[in-house]
Amino acid sequence: MIGRTFNSRYQITERIGIGGMAEVYQAQDKVLGRMVAVKVMLPQYASDPAFTQRFKQEAAAAANLQSPYIVNIYDWGQDKGTYYIVMEYVRGSDLKTAINERGIINQRKSAEIASQVCQALSVAHGLDIVHRDIKPQNIMVQPDGNVKVMDFGIARAKNSVMSKTSTVLGTAHYISPEQAQGKDLTAASDIYSLGVVLYESVTGQLPFDGPDAVSVALKQVNDLPLPPGDINPDVDPDLEAIIMKAMQKDPNARFATAKDMRLALNDYLAGRPVNLPASFADAQTELLGAVPPIDTGAVTTVIPPAGGLHTNPANSGPLGGSGGTSTMDMPKKSSKKGIAVVIAVIAALAVIGGIAFALIGGGGGGDSERIVVPDVANKPLEVAVATLEEEGFAIGTIEEVPNKTVEAGNVISTDPSANTKQDRGTAVNLKVSKGEDESNELIDVPDLTNKTASEARKALEDAGLKPKEGKAENSDDVEKDRVARQDPTGGTQVEEGSTVTYYLSLGKKQEKVPNVIGQTLDSGAKILNDAGFLVGNYDNPTYVESDQPYNTILAQDPVAGSDLGKNGSVNVTLSRGPKPTSYGVYVNASGGGSVTTSSSAVDEGGSVTVTIVPDAGYVVSSATGVDGVASNGGTYTISNVQGDVSINVTFQQVQPTTPDTNTDTDSGTGTGTTTNPSEPTSPDTSSPDSEQVAAQSDAGSATAMS
């Protein structure tokens, strides 16, 4: 498939992945000069009318979905029996990969991701389209932190005949109970699946697992999930309540719409009270065996039984909980005072600002702009947050740690570090001082930048700290196998025995070089620029003669498909066009003079210069092949040559004149004076006529005619 071009437009460059009925490839759109993803139906299904109908329906349904959080569908078609769909190429990683690599995703980040997925589902559900396959593998997290929901491969419009089949589709770990039973699905099914995704993100575990899909599906129908907080005690009770509501067995007990779920998530992120619909209490009573709801006169609350809905009296990280009042009557979390309260408020506002920044497009696209992280060390937290957001960054986690040198409430360090280049929209984590903790001795974290792994471990152990090696990452500034960054950063004060994580460099991020052969210089340069590369010899390209049109790219170095670091250079060879016909320049000069030309041959349409120089005493009497020649010669240009050039020039000698010796001053009187032939003759200053001169010369005497 690699190298194949569909309908003379989409050239396949590499395979991205494979699903149940299709493969996905990266491809180059030769018409618009952009990278796209092409989903190609597997050959074994291409001859099945039911599958081809389903494939077409996917394209038609998804093409109508317009949202910044949904992968765009550009085109679809058939080429030599192969069905394909062309869609937006999304850079980034799917959420499942992130969960597998990290175990647990920061709960605020998880809530942000789920909120954006809700936004995408609201668009789909508004068109009566149920996704049916919401799972972390279908949620792409882009470099700017925004998500794209993809693969409406089993999406169905609610009024579709195909949606009435009893086939159970989707992945067993994420399907709703009604989907596991083959019932008709509504938008509530997608909400349940999103609840499972959110559950897995904050706990690192699936709510239900088993040896096979059937056993997992049965658990979806019959078993109750452990509350997320029983697995991860740091899960905020408000977020836990949102997850458990989304995962109710009864579709009517879940959020009524994806919009309702998004509003609850946004309330949690903003630190506002999470007011869940009253039906939640009834559903929790049934789900957890709680006592009936008690009317407090304000909101409906439930007293959970022992071992029921999880309550977490501890703070969820440095920010505590959501900052709001849960609709569940749970034990109150210990309140934070002083700087902790300020941090929570600032953090909540920062999250709101980050969401707004993403919604207005500040996060950029797949190829994000690289900007420098400002140095906000020793600045008050509110100033640091404002500075980072003004520069184009989002705010990640805010951790309060003891520090005896940085004033309480001021920023100690950032991750990524100050003065490093990062993609616009990157989330910056902050460590904030809570002042000196007299109960423990604080030590300085050594700077590990550019150290090898063994050097980093030794430096940390010598300082009384525990080394931990994180997942290696790409770095534009640090060579491979040396420390690119660390957390906490060098110079930060921490308690003795604290863990410091260091991240080794993989070197510059390697990308596949796209194919630009056949493109013009400018269109090829745009393709390379969009992929993160430069044309190394753009201002001075190599030209060779060929039968391709002028400025067509004939070759590239490195070749297409090669790995190359970001901003790497690709040199191109261009066509000068076919070699022009060459004509001869021929000269024939006779007489006294010379004729020279600038070349003995000239290309068709070119020009040649002719220089004609008569000898002394000669003039040009005739010339062919060049126009406007003066008798005394000169330099002439023959332009737009269309054939052999033949130049013929004839020179003629000029007859010299003899000076007159006649001194007659009055020829009209008949009397003249002649010179003695034996004496010198002085030239006559008069103007004798030529006949006289001739006669005098012929006679050989000095006798004047009278």
CATH architecture label of 5-88 = 2-Layer Sandwich (3.30)
Out of 38-47, 145-154, 312-321, 472-481, give the one with best mean pLDDT.
Answer: 472-481
d(C-alpha 312, C-alpha 322), whole Å: 12
d(C-alpha 139, C-alpha 148), whole Å: 6
Region 540-551 average pLDDT: 89
Question: What integer best gives the mean pLDDT of the chain?
Answer: 77
Helices 187-203 and 107-126: crossing angle, nearest 10°?
A: 170
Region 617-622 average pLDDT: 94
The residues, any chain, with a CB within 8 Å of residue 691's CB and separated by 6 or more, are none
Pair of tokens at residue 468: 């931990």
User: With 50 as the cut, is the pLDDT of residue 695 above it?
Assistant: no
pLDDT value at residue 369 = 63
| CA distances, 694 to each of 5, 151, 654, 670, 691 (Å) | 93, 112, 17, 19, 5
Q: Which residue has the higher pLDDT, 670 or 297?
A: 670
pLDDT value at residue 571 = 94
Using DSSP bridges, classify how beta strands 82-88 and 73-79 pair: parallel, antiparallel or unpaired. Answer: antiparallel
Of 34-48, 184-198, 284-298, 439-453, which range is least confident? 284-298
Domain locations along the chain: 5-88, 108-319, 337-435, 510-577, 582-653
Region 490-498 average pLDDT: 84
d(C-alpha 332, C-alpha 344), whole Å: 17
pLDDT value at residue 409 = 86
d(C-alpha 509, C-alpha 377), whole Å: 28
pLDDT value at residue 128 = 84
Q: Which residue has the higher pLDDT, 263 or 19?
A: 263
3-state secondary structure 245-278: HHCCCCHHHCCCCHHHHHHHHHHHHHCCCCCCCC
d(C-alpha 74, C-alpha 138), whole Å: 18
Q: Which residue has the higher pLDDT, 425 or 514?
A: 514
Q: Which residue has the higher pLDDT, 266 or 417?
A: 266
Half-sphere exposure of 377 (CA within 13 A, CB side): 16
Q: Which fold has domain 510-577?
A: Trypsin Inhibitor V; Chain A (3.30.10)
pTM metric for this prediction = 0.43
Strand order in the sheet with 22-29: 5-6, 10-18, 22-29, 34-41, 82-88, 73-79
Q: What type of residue is 167?
A: T
Q: Which fold has domain 337-435?
A: Trypsin Inhibitor V; Chain A (3.30.10)
Percent of the chain with pLDDT over 90: 37
Pair of tokens at residue 705: 């005619």
Pair of tokens at residue 541: 């390209």
Tell me, yes or no, if the two domains 337-435 and 510-577 fold the same way.
yes
Q: What is the pLDDT of residues 191-213, one digit of tens each?
A: 999 999 999 999 999 999 888 77
Using DSSP bridges, classify how beta strands 563-565 and 510-512 pair: parallel, antiparallel or unpaired. Answer: antiparallel
Half-sphere exposure of 319 (CA within 13 A, CB side): 27
Helices 339-359 and 258-270: crossing angle, nearest 10°?
A: 140
Of 461, 432, 433, residue with least CA distance to 448: 461
Catalytic residue among 133, 151, 236, 487: 133
Half-sphere exposure of 541 (CA within 13 A, CB side): 25
Pair of tokens at residue 590: 């006779």
- 522 noted as active-site residue: no
pLDDT value at residue 657 = 64
The residues, any chain, with a CB within 8 Å of residue 16's CB and separated by 6 or more, are 24, 25, 26, 37
User: With 50 as the cut, is the pLDDT of residue 320 above it?
Assistant: no
Q: What type of residue is 290?
A: A
| CA distances, 329 to each of 233, 309, 317 (Å) | 18, 11, 22
Residue ranges of the binding site: 39
Residue ranges of the binding site for ATP: 39
Confidence of residue 165 (pLDDT cuts 50, 70, 90): very low
pLDDT value at residue 613 = 96
pLDDT value at residue 156 = 52
On whether the 108-319 domain is CATH 1.10.510.10, my answer is yes
Q: Which residue has the higher pLDDT, 677 or 621?
A: 621
Pair of tokens at residue 243: 């997850």
Confidence of residue 437 (pLDDT cuts 50, 70, 90): low
Q: Is the peptide bond before 558 cis (omega within 30 degrees of 0)?
A: yes
Q: What is the pLDDT of residues 341-397, one digit of tens each?
A: 445 444 444 443 443 333 333 333 334 467 888 988 888 888 888 888 888 888 877
Out of 37-46, 377-386, 660-669, give the one with best mean pLDDT.
Answer: 377-386
Percent of the chain with pLDDT over 70: 75
d(C-alpha 67, C-alpha 69), whole Å: 5
User: With 90 as the cut, is the pLDDT of residue 447 above it?
Assistant: yes
Using DSSP bridges, classify how beta strands 442-444 and 569-577 pair: parallel, antiparallel or unpaired. Answer: unpaired
